[in-house]
Structure 1
Amino acid sequence: MANKSEQPMTPGNGEEKRNPIVENITQLGQTQPAATGESNIFTMTIIGQIEGHIVLPPQNKTTKYEHLIPQLVAAEQNPKIEGILIILNTVGGDVEAGLAIAEMIATLSKPTVTLVLGGGHSIGVPIAVSADCSIIAETATMTIHPIRLNGLVIGVPQTFEYLDKMQERVIRFVTRHSKVSEEKFKELMFTTGELTRDIGTTVIGADAVKHGLIDKLGGIGEAIAELNRRMDERKKQHNGGMVQ
Protein backbone atom coordinates (compact mmCIF):
# COMPACT_ATOMS: atom_id res chain seq x y z
CA MET A 1 0.00 0.00 0.00
CA ALA A 2 1.48 3.33 -1.09
CA ASN A 3 2.26 5.93 1.53
CA LYS A 4 0.18 9.08 1.07
CA SER A 5 3.28 11.23 1.46
CA GLU A 6 4.88 9.51 -1.55
CA GLN A 7 1.96 10.14 -3.91
CA PRO A 8 2.67 12.69 -6.67
CA MET A 9 1.01 16.07 -6.26
CA THR A 10 -1.82 16.76 -8.70
CA PRO A 11 -4.14 19.74 -9.19
CA GLY A 12 -6.72 17.96 -7.05
CA ASN A 13 -4.67 17.13 -3.94
CA GLY A 14 -3.44 20.50 -2.67
CA GLU A 15 -1.17 22.03 -5.31
CA GLU A 16 -2.15 23.83 -8.50
CA LYS A 17 -0.38 22.85 -11.68
CA ARG A 18 2.06 25.56 -12.75
CA ASN A 19 1.85 26.85 -16.32
CA PRO A 20 5.43 26.89 -17.69
CA ILE A 21 4.75 29.95 -19.87
CA VAL A 22 3.38 31.90 -16.89
CA GLU A 23 6.37 30.71 -14.83
CA ASN A 24 8.80 32.03 -17.46
CA ILE A 25 7.03 35.39 -17.56
CA THR A 26 7.05 35.62 -13.75
CA GLN A 27 10.70 34.66 -13.32
CA LEU A 28 12.40 35.87 -16.50
CA GLY A 29 9.97 38.33 -18.11
CA GLN A 30 9.69 36.30 -21.33
CA THR A 31 7.54 33.56 -22.82
CA GLN A 32 10.34 31.29 -24.06
CA PRO A 33 13.88 30.78 -22.79
CA ALA A 34 16.61 31.32 -25.38
CA ALA A 35 17.51 27.63 -25.47
CA THR A 36 14.06 26.58 -26.74
CA GLY A 37 12.72 29.66 -28.57
CA GLU A 38 11.39 29.18 -32.10
CA SER A 39 12.10 32.75 -33.26
CA ASN A 40 15.52 33.64 -34.65
CA ILE A 41 15.47 36.76 -32.44
CA PHE A 42 15.90 36.43 -28.69
CA THR A 43 14.22 39.26 -26.76
CA MET A 44 15.47 40.09 -23.28
CA THR A 45 13.69 42.63 -21.07
CA ILE A 46 15.30 44.62 -18.26
CA ILE A 47 12.48 46.15 -16.24
CA GLY A 48 12.39 47.99 -12.91
CA GLN A 49 15.47 47.90 -10.67
CA ILE A 50 18.49 45.75 -11.47
CA GLU A 51 19.00 43.43 -8.52
CA GLY A 52 22.57 42.40 -7.80
CA HIS A 53 24.22 41.02 -4.67
CA ILE A 54 21.54 42.31 -2.27
CA VAL A 55 17.96 41.00 -2.46
CA LEU A 56 15.55 43.92 -2.74
CA PRO A 57 12.19 44.17 -0.92
CA PRO A 58 9.35 42.15 -2.50
CA GLN A 59 7.36 45.28 -3.41
CA ASN A 60 10.17 46.44 -5.74
CA LYS A 61 9.86 45.58 -9.42
CA THR A 62 13.24 43.97 -10.13
CA THR A 63 15.26 42.22 -12.81
CA LYS A 64 17.74 39.77 -11.31
CA TYR A 65 21.10 39.71 -13.05
CA GLU A 66 21.61 36.01 -12.26
CA HIS A 67 18.55 35.33 -14.46
CA LEU A 68 19.88 37.38 -17.39
CA ILE A 69 23.44 36.09 -17.68
CA PRO A 70 22.52 32.40 -18.28
CA GLN A 71 19.95 33.56 -20.87
CA LEU A 72 22.60 35.54 -22.74
CA VAL A 73 24.93 32.52 -22.67
CA ALA A 74 22.11 30.30 -24.01
CA ALA A 75 21.32 32.81 -26.77
CA GLU A 76 24.98 32.96 -27.78
CA GLN A 77 25.23 29.16 -27.96
CA ASN A 78 21.90 28.47 -29.67
CA PRO A 79 22.47 28.27 -33.46
CA LYS A 80 18.80 29.07 -34.11
CA ILE A 81 19.17 32.50 -32.46
CA GLU A 82 20.60 34.95 -34.99
CA GLY A 83 20.04 38.27 -33.20
CA ILE A 84 19.38 39.63 -29.72
CA LEU A 85 17.01 42.48 -28.82
CA ILE A 86 17.31 44.06 -25.36
CA ILE A 87 14.37 46.20 -24.20
CA LEU A 88 15.07 48.57 -21.31
CA ASN A 89 12.76 50.37 -18.90
CA THR A 90 14.90 50.53 -15.78
CA VAL A 91 15.63 52.96 -12.96
CA GLY A 92 19.13 51.49 -12.57
CA GLY A 93 20.35 49.47 -9.61
CA ASP A 94 23.44 47.50 -8.61
CA VAL A 95 26.50 48.98 -10.35
CA GLU A 96 28.56 45.80 -10.64
CA ALA A 97 25.56 43.74 -11.78
CA GLY A 98 24.69 46.37 -14.39
CA LEU A 99 28.26 46.48 -15.70
CA ALA A 100 28.36 42.67 -15.82
CA ILE A 101 25.22 42.62 -17.98
CA ALA A 102 26.60 45.41 -20.19
CA GLU A 103 29.89 43.54 -20.70
CA MET A 104 28.03 40.34 -21.57
CA ILE A 105 25.96 42.13 -24.22
CA ALA A 106 28.99 43.96 -25.63
CA THR A 107 30.96 40.72 -26.09
CA LEU A 108 28.22 38.68 -27.82
CA SER A 109 29.21 37.58 -31.32
CA LYS A 110 25.66 37.88 -32.68
CA PRO A 111 24.02 41.18 -33.75
CA THR A 112 22.51 43.09 -30.83
CA VAL A 113 20.14 46.05 -30.57
CA THR A 114 18.99 47.87 -27.42
CA LEU A 115 15.71 49.77 -27.21
CA VAL A 116 15.10 52.24 -24.37
CA LEU A 117 11.39 52.55 -23.61
CA GLY A 118 10.25 54.70 -20.69
CA GLY A 119 13.67 55.02 -19.07
CA GLY A 120 17.24 53.76 -19.09
CA HIS A 121 18.52 55.50 -15.96
CA SER A 122 21.72 55.34 -13.92
CA ILE A 123 23.51 51.99 -14.49
CA GLY A 124 20.95 51.38 -17.26
CA VAL A 125 22.99 53.82 -19.38
CA PRO A 126 25.96 51.43 -19.90
CA ILE A 127 23.52 48.62 -20.73
CA ALA A 128 21.73 50.85 -23.26
CA VAL A 129 24.96 51.64 -25.14
CA SER A 130 26.43 48.12 -24.96
CA ALA A 131 24.75 46.77 -28.12
CA ASP A 132 25.83 47.12 -31.75
CA CYS A 133 23.04 49.67 -32.20
CA SER A 134 21.11 51.62 -29.56
CA ILE A 135 17.64 53.09 -30.12
CA ILE A 136 15.55 55.28 -27.81
CA ALA A 137 11.86 56.17 -27.91
CA GLU A 138 11.09 59.86 -28.37
CA THR A 139 9.52 60.13 -24.89
CA ALA A 140 12.06 57.94 -23.07
CA THR A 141 14.53 59.48 -20.61
CA MET A 142 18.00 58.64 -19.30
CA THR A 143 19.39 59.98 -16.01
CA ILE A 144 23.16 60.39 -15.84
CA HIS A 145 24.65 60.97 -12.39
CA PRO A 146 27.72 60.03 -10.32
CA ILE A 147 27.86 56.71 -8.48
CA ARG A 148 26.31 56.83 -5.03
CA LEU A 149 26.09 54.34 -2.17
CA ASN A 150 23.25 53.71 0.26
CA GLY A 151 23.86 52.68 3.86
CA LEU A 152 27.06 52.79 5.91
CA VAL A 153 30.07 54.36 4.19
CA ILE A 154 33.47 54.16 5.89
CA GLY A 155 34.92 57.66 5.68
CA VAL A 156 38.49 56.86 4.72
CA PRO A 157 40.44 57.89 1.58
CA GLN A 158 40.40 54.29 0.26
CA THR A 159 36.58 54.34 0.14
CA PHE A 160 36.50 57.43 -2.04
CA GLU A 161 39.28 56.06 -4.25
CA TYR A 162 37.24 52.89 -4.76
CA LEU A 163 34.15 54.91 -5.73
CA ASP A 164 36.23 57.03 -8.08
CA LYS A 165 37.68 53.95 -9.79
CA MET A 166 34.23 52.39 -10.16
CA GLN A 167 32.92 55.61 -11.65
CA GLU A 168 35.81 55.68 -14.12
CA ARG A 169 34.86 52.14 -15.19
CA VAL A 170 31.36 53.37 -16.02
CA ILE A 171 32.66 56.45 -17.88
CA ARG A 172 35.17 54.42 -19.91
CA PHE A 173 32.57 51.82 -20.86
CA VAL A 174 29.97 54.37 -21.96
CA THR A 175 32.40 56.50 -23.98
CA ARG A 176 33.93 53.38 -25.61
CA HIS A 177 30.56 52.02 -26.70
CA SER A 178 28.88 55.24 -27.83
CA LYS A 179 29.69 58.44 -29.69
CA VAL A 180 29.53 60.72 -26.63
CA SER A 181 32.85 62.31 -25.65
CA GLU A 182 34.29 61.84 -22.18
CA GLU A 183 34.13 65.60 -21.58
CA LYS A 184 30.43 65.79 -22.52
CA PHE A 185 29.50 62.72 -20.50
CA LYS A 186 31.25 64.09 -17.40
CA GLU A 187 29.55 67.44 -17.94
CA LEU A 188 26.15 65.72 -17.96
CA MET A 189 27.12 63.60 -14.95
CA PHE A 190 28.21 66.51 -12.73
CA THR A 191 25.62 69.12 -13.66
CA THR A 192 24.12 70.83 -10.60
CA GLY A 193 20.69 72.39 -10.20
CA GLU A 194 18.79 70.18 -12.65
CA LEU A 195 17.90 67.23 -10.42
CA THR A 196 15.96 67.99 -7.24
CA ARG A 197 18.10 66.15 -4.67
CA ASP A 198 21.12 65.08 -6.69
CA ILE A 199 23.64 66.19 -9.26
CA GLY A 200 23.40 64.98 -12.82
CA THR A 201 21.24 65.35 -15.91
CA THR A 202 18.10 63.80 -17.33
CA VAL A 203 18.19 63.61 -21.12
CA ILE A 204 15.14 62.90 -23.27
CA GLY A 205 15.16 60.82 -26.48
CA ALA A 206 16.29 63.40 -29.05
CA ASP A 207 18.87 64.92 -26.67
CA ALA A 208 20.39 61.48 -26.01
CA VAL A 209 20.89 61.12 -29.78
CA LYS A 210 22.20 64.69 -30.14
CA HIS A 211 24.83 64.10 -27.43
CA GLY A 212 25.93 60.88 -29.17
CA LEU A 213 24.87 58.70 -26.25
CA ILE A 214 22.27 56.76 -28.30
CA ASP A 215 22.47 56.02 -32.04
CA LYS A 216 18.94 56.98 -33.11
CA LEU A 217 15.30 57.61 -32.25
CA GLY A 218 12.73 54.89 -32.83
CA GLY A 219 10.47 52.21 -31.44
CA ILE A 220 10.00 48.47 -31.65
CA GLY A 221 9.52 48.50 -35.44
CA GLU A 222 12.79 50.35 -36.03
CA ALA A 223 14.61 48.13 -33.53
CA ILE A 224 13.51 44.88 -35.21
CA ALA A 225 14.20 46.29 -38.69
CA GLU A 226 17.72 47.30 -37.62
CA LEU A 227 18.34 43.91 -36.06
CA ASN A 228 17.11 42.09 -39.17
CA ARG A 229 19.38 44.25 -41.34
CA ARG A 230 22.41 43.39 -39.21
CA MET A 231 21.46 39.70 -39.18
CA ASP A 232 21.25 39.70 -43.00
CA GLU A 233 24.67 41.39 -43.23
CA ARG A 234 26.18 38.77 -40.92
CA LYS A 235 24.69 35.97 -43.05
CA LYS A 236 26.15 37.50 -46.24
CA GLN A 237 29.58 37.82 -44.65
CA HIS A 238 29.42 34.24 -43.41
CA ASN A 239 28.26 32.89 -46.78
CA GLY A 240 30.94 34.92 -48.57
CA GLY A 241 33.58 33.42 -46.32
CA MET A 242 32.26 29.90 -46.97
CA VAL A 243 32.39 30.44 -50.77
CA GLN A 244 36.00 31.63 -50.62
Structure 2
Amino acid sequence: MSEKEKEKENSNPAVSSPLMETIQQLGQTNIPQAPDSNVHVLTIIGQIEGHIQLPPQNKTTKYEHLLPQIIAIEQNPKIEGLILLLNTVGGDVEAGLALAEMIASLSKPTVSIVLGGGHSIGLPVALSADYSFIVPTATITIHPIRLTGLVIGVPQTFEYLDKMQERVLNFIVMHSEVGEHKLKDLMFAKGNLTRDIGTNVVGKDAVEYGLINEVGGVKEAMEKITELIQSEKKVEEK
Protein backbone atom coordinates (compact mmCIF):
# COMPACT_ATOMS: atom_id res chain seq x y z
CA MET A 1 0.00 0.00 0.00
CA SER A 2 1.35 3.43 -0.97
CA GLU A 3 1.79 6.33 1.46
CA LYS A 4 -1.12 8.21 -0.13
CA GLU A 5 -3.42 5.21 0.25
CA LYS A 6 -2.42 4.86 3.90
CA GLU A 7 -3.12 8.56 4.54
CA LYS A 8 -6.50 8.24 2.83
CA GLU A 9 -7.41 5.20 4.96
CA ASN A 10 -6.32 6.87 8.20
CA SER A 11 -8.32 10.01 7.39
CA ASN A 12 -11.48 8.09 6.55
CA PRO A 13 -13.85 8.12 9.61
CA ALA A 14 -15.74 5.13 8.27
CA VAL A 15 -12.67 2.89 8.57
CA SER A 16 -13.19 0.22 11.25
CA SER A 17 -11.43 0.75 14.57
CA PRO A 18 -11.68 -0.86 18.01
CA LEU A 19 -13.70 2.13 19.24
CA MET A 20 -16.15 1.97 16.32
CA GLU A 21 -16.54 -1.79 16.78
CA THR A 22 -17.36 -1.24 20.45
CA ILE A 23 -20.01 1.34 19.55
CA GLN A 24 -21.55 -0.91 16.89
CA GLN A 25 -21.58 -4.10 18.97
CA LEU A 26 -22.30 -2.82 22.46
CA GLY A 27 -23.63 0.68 21.84
CA GLN A 28 -21.11 1.98 24.35
CA THR A 29 -18.09 4.21 24.42
CA ASN A 30 -16.11 5.73 27.28
CA ILE A 31 -15.60 9.08 25.51
CA PRO A 32 -18.16 11.10 27.56
CA GLN A 33 -16.80 9.82 30.87
CA ALA A 34 -14.14 11.65 32.80
CA PRO A 35 -10.81 9.78 32.76
CA ASP A 36 -10.83 9.53 36.54
CA SER A 37 -14.50 8.55 36.88
CA ASN A 38 -15.07 5.93 39.58
CA VAL A 39 -18.65 5.20 38.44
CA HIS A 40 -19.43 2.92 35.50
CA VAL A 41 -22.65 3.32 33.48
CA LEU A 42 -24.36 0.21 32.12
CA THR A 43 -27.31 0.57 29.73
CA ILE A 44 -30.12 -1.92 29.09
CA ILE A 45 -32.09 -0.64 26.12
CA GLY A 46 -34.77 -2.18 23.91
CA GLN A 47 -35.41 -5.90 24.28
CA ILE A 48 -33.23 -8.20 26.37
CA GLU A 49 -31.99 -10.82 23.91
CA GLY A 50 -31.29 -14.24 25.34
CA HIS A 51 -31.04 -17.68 23.78
CA ILE A 52 -32.91 -16.77 20.58
CA GLN A 53 -31.51 -14.17 18.21
CA LEU A 54 -34.06 -11.45 17.45
CA PRO A 55 -34.64 -9.87 14.00
CA PRO A 56 -32.05 -7.23 13.02
CA GLN A 57 -34.61 -4.41 13.08
CA ASN A 58 -35.23 -4.96 16.81
CA LYS A 59 -33.36 -2.75 19.25
CA THR A 60 -31.77 -5.26 21.63
CA THR A 61 -29.44 -5.64 24.56
CA LYS A 62 -27.59 -8.94 24.25
CA TYR A 63 -27.08 -10.50 27.65
CA GLU A 64 -23.89 -12.27 26.55
CA HIS A 65 -22.38 -8.80 26.01
CA LEU A 66 -23.30 -7.67 29.52
CA LEU A 67 -22.06 -10.71 31.45
CA PRO A 68 -18.32 -10.07 30.88
CA GLN A 69 -18.85 -6.35 31.55
CA ILE A 70 -20.36 -7.12 34.95
CA ILE A 71 -17.40 -9.38 35.80
CA ALA A 72 -14.99 -6.64 34.66
CA ILE A 73 -16.78 -4.09 36.88
CA GLU A 74 -16.38 -6.37 39.89
CA GLN A 75 -12.67 -6.94 39.19
CA ASN A 76 -11.69 -3.36 38.32
CA PRO A 77 -10.44 -1.57 41.49
CA LYS A 78 -10.91 1.84 39.84
CA ILE A 79 -14.66 1.31 39.54
CA GLU A 80 -16.33 1.99 42.89
CA GLY A 81 -19.98 2.11 41.83
CA LEU A 82 -22.40 1.24 39.03
CA ILE A 83 -25.25 3.25 37.50
CA LEU A 84 -27.78 1.11 35.63
CA LEU A 85 -29.91 2.87 32.97
CA LEU A 86 -33.03 1.03 31.82
CA ASN A 87 -35.45 1.65 28.99
CA THR A 88 -36.56 -1.86 28.11
CA VAL A 89 -39.70 -3.68 27.04
CA GLY A 90 -38.43 -6.85 28.74
CA GLY A 91 -37.42 -9.93 26.80
CA ASP A 92 -35.95 -13.34 27.57
CA VAL A 93 -36.99 -14.24 31.12
CA GLU A 94 -34.03 -16.46 32.00
CA ALA A 95 -31.50 -14.03 30.48
CA GLY A 96 -33.06 -11.08 32.32
CA LEU A 97 -33.16 -12.97 35.60
CA ALA A 98 -29.53 -14.03 35.12
CA LEU A 99 -28.51 -10.39 34.64
CA ALA A 100 -30.51 -9.37 37.70
CA GLU A 101 -28.85 -12.03 39.86
CA MET A 102 -25.36 -11.02 38.67
CA ILE A 103 -25.93 -7.32 39.35
CA ALA A 104 -27.44 -8.11 42.75
CA SER A 105 -24.35 -10.14 43.66
CA LEU A 106 -21.88 -7.31 42.95
CA SER A 107 -19.87 -6.21 45.97
CA LYS A 108 -19.89 -2.57 44.80
CA PRO A 109 -22.73 -0.07 45.29
CA THR A 110 -25.30 0.00 42.49
CA VAL A 111 -28.09 2.40 41.56
CA SER A 112 -30.67 1.98 38.78
CA ILE A 113 -32.80 4.51 36.88
CA VAL A 114 -35.93 3.44 35.00
CA LEU A 115 -36.29 5.88 32.10
CA GLY A 116 -38.95 5.31 29.42
CA GLY A 117 -39.88 1.89 30.72
CA GLY A 118 -38.80 -1.09 32.81
CA HIS A 119 -41.37 -3.56 31.60
CA SER A 120 -41.77 -7.27 32.26
CA ILE A 121 -38.41 -8.90 33.16
CA GLY A 122 -36.92 -5.39 33.12
CA LEU A 123 -38.42 -4.86 36.59
CA PRO A 124 -36.23 -7.48 38.34
CA VAL A 125 -33.20 -6.00 36.56
CA ALA A 126 -34.08 -2.54 37.90
CA LEU A 127 -34.59 -3.97 41.39
CA SER A 128 -31.24 -5.79 41.32
CA ALA A 129 -29.51 -2.52 42.24
CA ASP A 130 -29.02 -1.45 45.85
CA TYR A 131 -31.26 1.58 45.25
CA SER A 132 -33.69 2.28 42.42
CA PHE A 133 -35.10 5.45 40.84
CA ILE A 134 -37.84 6.02 38.28
CA VAL A 135 -38.42 9.23 36.33
CA PRO A 136 -41.96 10.69 36.69
CA THR A 137 -43.09 9.70 33.18
CA ALA A 138 -41.59 6.21 33.07
CA THR A 139 -43.78 3.12 33.21
CA ILE A 140 -43.46 -0.45 34.44
CA THR A 141 -45.69 -3.20 33.05
CA ILE A 142 -46.26 -6.11 35.43
CA HIS A 143 -47.77 -9.22 33.88
CA PRO A 144 -47.52 -13.02 34.05
CA ILE A 145 -44.84 -14.83 32.03
CA ARG A 146 -45.86 -15.31 28.42
CA LEU A 147 -44.59 -17.75 25.81
CA THR A 148 -44.63 -17.28 22.05
CA GLY A 149 -44.56 -20.01 19.45
CA LEU A 150 -45.44 -23.68 19.89
CA VAL A 151 -46.43 -24.69 23.42
CA ILE A 152 -46.86 -28.36 24.29
CA GLY A 153 -50.13 -28.70 26.18
CA VAL A 154 -49.05 -31.13 28.87
CA PRO A 155 -49.00 -30.74 32.68
CA GLN A 156 -45.19 -30.51 32.73
CA THR A 157 -45.29 -27.36 30.56
CA PHE A 158 -47.60 -25.56 32.97
CA GLU A 159 -45.58 -26.75 35.96
CA TYR A 160 -42.43 -25.34 34.35
CA LEU A 161 -44.14 -21.99 33.70
CA ASP A 162 -45.43 -21.88 37.26
CA LYS A 163 -41.96 -22.48 38.69
CA MET A 164 -40.44 -19.83 36.43
CA GLN A 165 -43.16 -17.40 37.48
CA GLU A 166 -42.39 -18.16 41.13
CA ARG A 167 -38.68 -17.42 40.59
CA VAL A 168 -39.51 -13.98 39.17
CA LEU A 169 -42.02 -13.23 41.94
CA ASN A 170 -39.57 -14.24 44.67
CA PHE A 171 -36.82 -12.02 43.24
CA ILE A 172 -39.12 -8.98 43.05
CA VAL A 173 -40.40 -9.49 46.61
CA MET A 174 -36.87 -10.01 47.99
CA HIS A 175 -35.50 -6.85 46.34
CA SER A 176 -38.39 -4.45 46.92
CA GLU A 177 -40.91 -3.38 49.54
CA VAL A 178 -43.96 -4.76 47.73
CA GLY A 179 -45.74 -7.68 49.37
CA GLU A 180 -46.32 -10.93 47.48
CA HIS A 181 -50.10 -10.58 47.69
CA LYS A 182 -50.07 -7.03 46.28
CA LEU A 183 -47.63 -8.03 43.54
CA LYS A 184 -49.90 -10.87 42.42
CA ASP A 185 -52.88 -8.50 42.41
CA LEU A 186 -50.99 -6.18 40.06
CA MET A 187 -49.77 -9.07 37.92
CA PHE A 188 -53.15 -10.72 37.39
CA ALA A 189 -55.35 -7.61 37.31
CA LYS A 190 -57.98 -7.52 34.56
CA GLY A 191 -58.99 -4.47 32.57
CA ASN A 192 -55.81 -2.43 32.96
CA LEU A 193 -54.24 -3.74 29.76
CA THR A 194 -56.34 -4.06 26.62
CA ARG A 195 -57.31 -7.70 26.04
CA ASP A 196 -54.63 -8.85 28.47
CA ILE A 197 -53.99 -9.17 32.20
CA GLY A 198 -51.51 -7.16 34.21
CA THR A 199 -50.93 -3.58 35.36
CA ASN A 200 -49.12 -0.60 33.89
CA VAL A 201 -47.55 1.39 36.75
CA VAL A 202 -46.43 4.99 36.17
CA GLY A 203 -43.72 6.96 38.02
CA LYS A 204 -44.70 7.75 41.58
CA ASP A 205 -47.24 4.89 41.68
CA ALA A 206 -44.32 2.46 41.41
CA VAL A 207 -42.85 4.08 44.53
CA GLU A 208 -46.17 4.03 46.39
CA TYR A 209 -46.57 0.31 45.65
CA GLY A 210 -43.10 -0.31 47.06
CA LEU A 211 -41.61 -1.49 43.77
CA ILE A 212 -39.12 1.37 43.29
CA ASN A 213 -37.34 3.31 46.05
CA GLU A 214 -37.72 6.88 44.80
CA VAL A 215 -38.82 9.15 41.96
CA GLY A 216 -35.76 10.80 40.43
CA GLY A 217 -33.32 11.00 37.55
CA VAL A 218 -29.62 11.44 36.88
CA LYS A 219 -28.96 14.06 39.56
CA GLU A 220 -30.58 12.02 42.31
CA ALA A 221 -28.92 8.82 41.14
CA MET A 222 -25.45 10.40 41.13
CA GLU A 223 -26.00 11.81 44.61
CA LYS A 224 -27.13 8.39 45.84
CA ILE A 225 -24.26 6.43 44.30
CA THR A 226 -21.78 8.91 45.80
CA GLU A 227 -23.45 8.46 49.20
CA LEU A 228 -23.30 4.66 48.93
CA ILE A 229 -19.65 4.72 47.85
CA GLN A 230 -18.72 6.93 50.81
CA SER A 231 -20.62 4.64 53.18
CA GLU A 232 -18.79 1.63 51.74
CA LYS A 233 -15.43 3.30 52.30
CA LYS A 234 -16.26 4.11 55.93
CA VAL A 235 -17.19 0.47 56.55
CA GLU A 236 -13.90 -0.70 55.00
CA GLU A 237 -11.89 1.75 57.10
CA LYS A 238 -13.37 0.28 60.28
Which residue identity is paired with 2:229? M
Which residue identity is paired with 1:209? V
Gaps in structure 1 of 5+ consecutive residues: 3-7
| CA distance in structure 1 between the aligned counterparts of 2:110 and 2:102, rounded to whole angstroms | 11
TM-score (norm 2): 0.92
**Residue 93 of structure 2 is aligned with which of 92, 95, 98?**
95
For the 8 Å contact 1:24–1:32, the answer to whether it is kept is no
1:85 aligned partner: 83
Percent identity, aligned pairs only, is: 64
Q: State the 1:38 CA deviation.
A: 4.3
1:207 aligned partner: 205
Which residue identity is paired with 1:124? G
TM alignment of 1:82-231, pairs within 5 A: 82-231=80-229
| CA distance in structure 2 between the aligned counterparts of 1:72 and 1:32, rounded to whole angstroms | 16
Which residue identity is paired with 1:49? Q
For the 8 Å contact 1:85–1:113, the answer to whether it is kept is yes
Q: State the 1:30 CA deviation.
A: 1.8
Cα deviation code 1:153-204 (max 9, x no counterpart)? 0000000000000000000000000000000100000001110131000000
| CA distance in structure 2 between the aligned counterparts of 1:28 and 1:232, rounded to whole angstroms | 30
Structure 1 position 58 matched with structure 2 position 56: yes
| CA distance in structure 2 between the aligned counterparts of 1:102 and 1:76, rounded to whole angstroms | 15
What CA RMSD, in Å, does the superposition of the two structures yield over aligned residues?
2.3
| CA distance in structure 2 between the aligned counterparts of 1:29 and 1:135, rounded to whole angstroms | 23
Q: State the 1:16 CA deviation.
A: 5.0
1:5 aligned partner: none
Moved beyond 6 Å, runs of 4+:
none
Q: State the 1:237 CA deviation.
A: 1.1
Q: State the 1:23 CA deviation.
A: 2.6
Q: State the 1:15 CA deviation.
A: 11
Cα deviation code 1:91-115 (max 9, x no counterpart)? 0000000000000010000000010
Gaps in structure 2 of 5+ consecutive residues: none
| CA distance in structure 2 between the aligned counterparts of 1:162 and 1:43, rounded to whole angstroms | 35
2:43 aligned partner: 45
For the 8 Å contact 1:75–1:81, the answer to whether it is kept is yes
**Aligned CA distance change for structure 1 residues 81 and 15 (closer, same or farther; 3 Å):** closer
TM-score (norm 1): 0.90
